[in-house]
Amino acid sequence: MKNAAEKKTILVTGGSGYLGQEVCNLLININADFITSTHQRGSLTDQQVFVDLETGDGIKDAIQGKTVILHLASDKKKPDNDVEGMKHLIAEIKKQQSKVHLIYISIVGIDLLPMPYFKQKMMAEQELVNSGVNWSILRATQFHKYVDELLHQFLAYPVGIIPKAVPVQPIDVHVVAEKLVEMTAGVPSHQKKDMGGEEVFEFIELAKSWGKIRHKSKLILNFPLWGRWGKNLKNGALTTADKSSSGMSWESWLTAEYANYLSR
Ligand SMILES: NC(=O)c1ccc[n+]([C@@H]2O[C@H](COP(=O)([O-])OP(=O)(O)OC[C@H]3O[C@@H](n4cnc5c(N)ncnc54)[C@H](OP(=O)(O)O)[C@@H]3O)[C@@H](O)[C@H]2O)c1
């Protein structure tokens, strides 16, 4: 992997994000030739370029001469940006007649669920698949940290509410980053590949282990889901048979994250 990745010239969009930072650390470790993009105006490091995917500003210079784009940038608060950003990237790649390999990180199950963010990720995938550009898509399940954020929301009040019988398959962000870096050394697959954590839990089990490690016991109501997307969630829309056997388990991640709670 090392030699092949070293020959590539890589742009990482969203390199400052949760996944992006893991990817960048791995690229540094293998001495890869890469820059990251940020849409924060202000002083940039030698390894950063300004790109706003919403407007397309900066894309032209950022992709010039690149052989791989690891496209990780995204904004859950502005889901349309995933589609707009993808369109801007594709347009500029075509304009430059570039053979660049565009690797897009997506999410398992987005075609089965109607949440606005998922719909936009699906549309962005379709833009890429139909673009004529060289591509690969990796769809990952929920990162441990994202599950943790969800649980903070669901269990924010004295009585927690958790959807009933929903399987979730948390994954260590580090193994997703490793897979993406491995893909930079490969050829475009023109395929969507899934990647999930080793263990599948019901959401309520995750809530209980989360409460236990934080020494917070509370009443949790398990509300049933209905309709087509409720059925899809219960049938495992957020899970995949393509499990990664490496990386931190949910329990180990919780223990590491909440070590200070444990010592109280
Ligand atoms: N969270 C999960 O569980 C999960 C699971 C599967 C797949 N994914 C996918 O993985 C990717 C990364 O997720 P993450 O949790 O690491 O996200 P994140 O921490 O929110 O990072 C996303 C980065 O995108 C950049 N960005 C936002 N708006 C931008 C814009 N208009 N133009 C250019 N850059 C912009 C931001 O960097 P700057 O502020 O520096 O510009 C931000 O740091 C996303 O595509 C997400 O859909 C996430």
Q: pLDDT per residue over 58-70, tens digit each?
A: 999 999 999 999 9
179 lines ligand 1 (CB under 6 A): no
Token representation of residue 105: 């990180």
Ligand 1 atom 4 nearest Cα? 142
- Say if residues 14 and 74 touch (Cβ distance below 8 Å): yes
Half-sphere CA count of 176, side-chain side, radius 13 A: 30
Q: Are residues 66 and 93 in contact, defined by beta-carbon separation less than 8 angstroms?
A: no
CB 169 within 8 A of CB 142: yes
What distance in angstroms lies between residue 224's CA and the mean position of ligand 1's atoms?
A: 31
Choosing from 41, 71, 75, 174 the residue with most ligand 1 atoms within 8 A of its CB, the one to mutate for a pocket test is: 75
Span 116-157, pLDDT tens digits: 999 999 999 999 999 999 999 999 999 999 999 999 999 988
Mutation to probe ligand 1, out of 74, 138, 206 (largest number of atoms < 8 A from CB) = 74
Nearest protein CA to atom 17 of ligand 1, as residue: 17
Strands 201-202 and 167-168: antiparallel
Ligand 1 pocket residue status of 19, Cβ below 6 Å:
yes
Question: What integer pLDDT is reported at residue 263 of this predicted model?
Answer: 60
Type of residue found at 70: L
pLDDT of residue 2: 47
pTM: 0.95
pLDDT at 6 over 90: no
Residue type, position 264, single letter: R
Over the stretch 219-230, which tens digit does the pLDDT of each residue have?
Answer: 889 888 889 889
Residue whose Cα lies nearest atom 40 of ligand 1: it is 38
Whether the CA torsion 138, 141, 143, 146 is positive or negative: it is: positive
pLDDT digits over 158-183, tens only?
898 999 999 999 999 999 999 999 99
pLDDT reported for residue 264 = 56
Q: What is the pLDDT of residue 93?
A: 98
pLDDT-based confidence at 109, cuts 50/70/90? very high
Euclidean distance between CA atoms 243 and 172, whole angstroms: 11
Distance CA 8, CA 18 (A): 23
Q: In terms of Cα–Cα distance, which of 83, 26, 42, 205 is closest to 34?
A: 26
In this prediction, residues 97-122 reach a mean pLDDT of: 96
48 CB less than 6 Å from ligand 1? no
pLDDT digits (tens, 9 = 90+) for 20-33: 999 999 999 999 99
